[in-house]
Structures are given as C-alpha cells and as structure tokens.
Amino acid sequence: MNITEGATLELKREYSEEIKKTVVAFANTAGGVIYLGVNDDGTVRGIEKVDDELLRVSNAVRNSIKPDVTMFVSYIVEDIEDKAVIKITVQKGSSRPYYLTEKGLRPAGVYVRQGASCMPASESAIFKMIKETGGDTYEELRSIQQKLTFSSLTREFASRNIPFGKHDRKRLKLVNPDGMYTNLALLLSDQCIHSVKAAVFEGVDEEVFKDRKEFTGSLIQQLNDVYEFIDRYNKTRSVFHGLHREDSRDYPQAALREALLNALVHRDYAISASILIHIFDDRLEIVSVGGLVHGLSRDDILLGVSSTRNENLSKVFYRLMLIEAYGAGLPRILNSYESLSCAPQISVSDNAFKIVLPNVNYEKAEKGAMPQSLKAAQNGDLSAEEKAFFERLKFSESSSFSLQQMKIYEFIKSNEVCSRKDIENFMHISQSTAGKVLTELVNSGMVKLIGRGRSSRYMLS
C-alpha cells in the first residue's frame, strides 16, 4: 500500500487511545481518514477480529468525545493486499470544538491537525471555534470552562424563594441544548474570570490611595461585595437646624445601586478588562468596557431606550428582582439627583462607558468651609479662651488644617459630647485624619478626651 501520513491521513497499526485524539483533531480541522491495520511505513498488517475491533473503536468515539461526533464519523472494512483493514472517515464537525470528555474543553482535551501531527489547541483557537459555530452572542457560547459551581447564585435564588434546579438552569440558558455550560453560566459561577477593581483616593485626584480592592467570583457575589464596599464610603453628613438634625448621604443610594447594576449587566464580557470604580472626595466614577450597544446613542439611553447587550444575563437579574424594568436604570439615576444642585455625568466612547456621580455633600462642605469661629474671630466676637486658642492655630482661609480644627471644635461645642465616628461623618474625612486633628485639639487644651477605645468621647475642656 503506497500511502504516507499527512494532514488528512493517519495510519494505525492497531487500536490505541491515540485514535480518539486523531478523531477529535480531524473533526476540529478539515476532516481526514484513519486506516486501522496499516503500519506507519504504509505496509499492510491487517486485522484479525474485524467485528470486535469495529465495535471497540466505535464505542470509544461515541463515549469519549463531546459534543457527539458520531454523525460525522463512518466506518468501512476494506480488503487491501488480501488483508482486512478498517477505514475510518472523519468529516469536519459542525459543533466544534470537539474534545476528549476526560480532559474537558481546554487545550489538554482539544486537538487540531497540523501537518501529520495532532496538536493541543490554544485557548484563543478554542474560543475562535466556539464563536464560529455558536454565533456572535458571547453569553450563549459554550464556556471553555465546564467544571463550574454556583454556591453564590444558589444562595441568592434561595434567599428569594426562587427555584434553581436543572430545569431552571436550562430555561435561563446557563446550559445549552447539548447539556454544556454557556458563558452566561461562567459569568454567574464561582469561577467567573472577570472582576471589579475599586479604589478610594484622598482628595479629588489619583495621587494618594486610601483604600483599594479587587472583587472576584460570581457576578452576584461581586454585586453584593462591591455595593457593601461603596456603601462604607457613602458617608452621612449631619446638619443641625436648632434642635432638629438633618442627615444627607454623599450619594443617593438609588443612584449607587443602579449605576453598579448597569455596569455589571451591560458591559461587554468578550473584553477581559475589569470594571473600574474610583471614589474621590467630590465624586464617584464607574467605568465599564463595551461602549453603547450598536444603534443606540447617548441621548437614547438617557430617555430610557433599552437594547441590552447581555439579554440572558439581564433576564437572570430580572428574575432575581435586582432590576425592575429594562431601560429604567439611567433615568432612575438622573431622577435621584433631580432636586439637587449637581447632576450625574455620562461619557461614552467606542469601547467604554463612564458614569460620574457627584458627592452631593461636597459642594455644601465647600460652601461652608468658613466656620463661624473664623468669622467671629475676624469680627472680634470670641471669648478670651477661644481667642487665645485660635491665635495659637494661626488660622487663615488658606490653612485647611486650621479650618478643620475650627469646624471640629464647633461641632463638638454644638453637640456637647461626640465620638470620633461622628466627626468622620460630619467632616467626610478618614479615621486617621480625624484622629490626628482630634489629638491636636486635645493637646491644645480646648478639647478633652473621655474614656478609652470604642467608648472614647470628646467634649470641650
């Protein structure tokens, strides 16, 4: 038999596990033929128990390769040089990538044909095959990872008394008709490969970090963890009008919630970049990748026109009652600022979407930066003790540290007794800054510390 191995031809002396690898490679590439009973040099060896060997190889192909490739594989027995050989013809499959079940949908289990050899496919090659055979919707494509768990998602469904069994997973399209997990399942699984990165800065620029954290896991877990992180920095400003106290948070909670949901649900997960959240003294920024869905403009989304990029993901969030109606998120964000003097800003590029939420208390704090004691000092309306105190501070309008001391002094004076946490919330400053300024006031003799640890309180001397 004068034949040699090549890109579409493989010779096998006898059955071995390598045959399954070759079938996968041919089905993933351009098809090919395997001759069973022929030596590598082309000499015919033949097969004695043909029926047994046919049953053995067909069972191996049917049971060891996914998706089902049997419709693309045929077997015939040929007599060559008066010896029986098995000719296995493999066509290029329509559900690529095919892979060895025991190895999974990863390079160790997916093979392609390169010349006369079967080689592991790269992850990019696997993803390309998935996209070519599965359509253009990222969330409906088969996930490269198939060993997925859903502990966070299961808890979320259970907390809302919503069933989440095998039938529900198929209905929600976490599982495709072939029984394989989709990219939607990957996004909602504990093994989700995407993340959110959050950073908190001192002041209004990115020069000094106060805190930073990366959030991973299921998108449901990220939603809960990121919101909790942001909420810790959503401080409450207290203003007293006589005996009445008025509290105002830096960011409307409805705006925070909708902005975060919008970033998670509508970003382009085919791009690997993380969602970025930056918190400054005067604003909070959320940047997600993907830009607008094709056909929509910035004005369209502000009006509530919706065309979601991840329709199935949106349905899961809707099922969990995390979103109420498609297209209502951005109008709700804008409405939460309607009665305020500042408004959210939205920026869009081809590959990114950015929303900026103003700190509604920052402008108030800036307008009130001149404390009453400073005005009184300028008018000579201070007691002898306060006059001596502020002279030691060498106050001026350009001295922010002295202004902080004066404002904290006035806050303690008006409240009689307060904690460091009260001062942090009132001034919108960090724990370390509040502690430092309070120490200065205690050392000045105008403020005294009562108690220790969590029971510590401050009052005028």
What are the structural domains, with CATH classification, of the chain? 9-121 (3.30.950.30), 138-188 (no CATH), 196-361 (3.30.565.60), 368-460 (1.10.10.10)
Residue pair 461/383 in contact by the 8 Å Cβ criterion? no
Cα gap 72→89, rounded to integer Å: 8
Q: Which residues pair with 35 in a beta bridge?
A: 11, 87
**Long-range CB pairs of 118-125, under 8 A, 24+ apart, other chains included:** 118/18, 118/21, 118/22, 118/24, 118/25, 119/25, 121/28, 121/97
Model confidence over 339-363: pLDDT tens digits? 877 889 888 887 788 999 999 888 6
Question: CA dist 93 to 29, 73, 116, 134, 245, Å?
Answer: 8, 9, 19, 13, 71
> Helix, strand, or coil here: 78?
strand
Q: What pLDDT was estimated at residue 289?
A: 87
Q: What pLDDT was estimated at residue 395?
A: 43
| Whether residue 344 has a cis bond before it, omega within 30° of 0 | no
Please give the helix or strand (H or E) that residue 33 lies within, else none: strand 32-36
Q: What pLDDT was estimated at residue 368?
A: 44
Q: What pLDDT was estimated at residue 394?
A: 45
Q: Phi-psi region for residue 37, left (φ > 0), alpha (ψ -120 to 50) or beta? A: left
Low-confidence ranges of the chain (pLDDT < 70): 1-2, 134-136, 238-245, 292-307, 325-329, 363-403
Q: What pLDDT was estimated at residue 307?
A: 62
Q: What pLDDT was estimated at residue 452?
A: 81
Tell me whether strands 99-100 and 65-66 are parallel, antiparallel or unpaired.
antiparallel
Q: What pLDDT was estimated at residue 295?
A: 57
Cα gap 160→162, rounded to integer Å: 5
